Amino acid sequence: MEQIGHWINGAHVAGTSGRTADVMNPATGEVQAQVALASQDEMDAAIAAAAEAQVAWGATNPQRRARVMMKLVDLLNRDMDKLAEAISREHGKTFPDAKGDVQRGLEVIEFCIGAPHLLKGEFTDSAGPGIDMYSMRQPLGVVAGITPFNFPAMIPLWKLGPALAAGNAMIMKPSERDPSCPMMIAGLLKEAGLPDGVFQVINGDKAAVDAILDSETIQAVGFVGSTPIAQYIYSRAAETGKRAQCFGGAKNHMIIMPDADLDQAADALVGAGYGAAGERCMAISVAVPVGEETADRLIEKLVPRIEALKVGPYTAGDDVDFGPVVTAAAKENILRLVNSGVEQGAELVVDGRDFSLQGYEDGFFVGAHLFDKVTPDMDIYKTEIFGPVLSTVRAASYEEAIGLAMSHEYGNGTAIFTRDGDAARDFANRINIGMVGINVPIPVPLAYHTFGGWKKSGFGDLNQHGPDAFRFYTRTKTITSRWPSGIKEGAAFNFKAMD
């Protein structure tokens, strides 16, 4: 059985806590590796080593740090297939989708090559007589990333790129469900020239997370995962004065206006609802057609498309549309919620409950489901299902549709499909959701913009990647400097304006 330990001081080391978790192959239901779960002592030792290594790394000039990122881009491209294979094996997503996972992370590393520019401060010449004022952005020291199972390459890369390029050391605590990819990335960082100790991967569960939260050395924590844990981390991080950005769950609505191209909308819904088995925080899980006629026509177009979806293991080839969900518990939870939808009166138009795949009966496969006539009081509407289940809520008007999305507790992403520019503009302006698509179902911003949800989808005030990430991983120091022509002017005791 493969044993996955930790990455400390530039090497893979075995765990010493005596605790491990099983890493499953979701397609077969078999245990394929065991991952160490760190103790507080292991975490503390890794943090201390990171703090020591950070001093020289933080003092390294930004261009040299950027060159490590430049090299990392090459190495990620070189090992793209290997990384994607590790993701598919542990997560279950299809191979092309796993490559997308690496690619969207890699693009943030490309952005981080611009660190010298992004880290430039501000300067005011002659703010007063003989006085210059300037600000510099300095690294925080040791920072931590705590990441979810659903993007084991992309989200760790979103965090480590800006954190390291800005001169910090980072402790990465990836999901214990698919830890291999972050460990491989640690090896690539070493190969790219990152000094040992600057990036440590400490595997673990709540104990490891709590050790991060209790640490007085760690200055910031970047978290992505479910909302209850995001809220927990946000509040606990504050107790030790850490900076925290904590991104949580989602329930993304797509509004389909009567004038939309319904074939386009149906294709978009199928990709965004069922891709990666619905295990994306930007998946569309609620379709809101406006008007009964739009709803009827949309359902008519969706059903054959959904029934034609091919579910299978990543090894079955590139025409598989989606794979298994991540664990047996996730499968059970999804089916429980589907049953609750039926009991609470929603119409299950496509029923995937009996789905089984020959030869993979023990895998965690869930068939595609489509609900119609879902209402806001139902559990399937209120809860993030995180599975291949799309709910349709029929709205009588645009106002009712936008009102639904605005009243939901989550605010990660949303989309509107329409041909009407006025409706699209109004939607983009009024909606209280962080990322908005206009005829784009999954509006994940590119690396040079920033990614973050509102309401219960995001806690903290700066987003991931883009310029925000460099603000999050640095702090500003502002210097007022005076070079007097002589000391004859004497002391000044009043709080002076810069006249």
Q: Any idea which residues carry the catalytic annotation? A: 281
Q: Which of 54, 168, 412, 418 binds ligand NAD (CB under 6 A)?
A: 412
150 binds ligand NAD (CB under 6 A): yes
d(CA 81, CA 102): 9
Minimal distance in Å, beta carbon 300 to ligand NAD?
A: 30
**8 Å CB contact between 323 and 93:** yes
Q: What are phi and psi of 65, to 5 degrees?
A: -65, -40
Please report, as a single letter, which amino acid is at residue 298: L
Find the part of the chain contacting ligand NAD (CB under 6 A) among 242-250, 346-354, 361-369, 471-479.
242-250
Q: Write the binding mask 195 to 214 for ligand NAD: x where contact by CB under 6 A, - elsewhere.
A: ----------xx--x-----
Question: In whole angstroms, how close is the CB of 209 to ligand NAD at the nearest point?
Answer: 4
SS3 for 1? coil
40 counts as binding ligand NAD under rule CB under 6 A:
no
Q: Where are the beta strands (DSSP E) in 273-376?
A: 284-289, 347-350, 369-372
Three-state SS for 483? Answer: coil
Binding mask 442-481 for ligand NAD (x = CB under 6 A): -----------x---x------------------------
- Which of residues 76 and 281 has its CB atom nearest to ligand NAD in the complex? 281
* For ligand NAD, the closer CB: 341 or 458: 458
Q: Is 481 helix (H, G, I), strand (E, B) or coil?
A: strand
How far is the C-alpha of 347 from the C-alpha of 357, rounded, in Å? 25
The minimum distance between CB 248 and ligand NAD, in angstroms, equals 6
Nearer to ligand NAD, 111 or 149 (CB): 149
Q: Which of 10, 92, 148, 313 binds ligand NAD (CB under 6 A)?
A: 148
Residues touching ligand NAD, count (CB under 6 A)? 26
Q: How far is the CB of 409 from ligand NAD (least distance, A)?
A: 13
Beta bridge partner(s), residue 223: 146, 246
The 3-state secondary structure of 360-406 reads CCCCCCCCCEEEECCCCCCHHHHCCCCCCEEEECCECCHHHHHHHHH
361 HSE (CA, 13 A, CB side): 2
Note the residues at the interface with ligand NAD (CB under 6 A).
146-151, 173, 175-176, 205-206, 209, 224-226, 229, 247-250, 281, 384, 386, 412, 453, 457
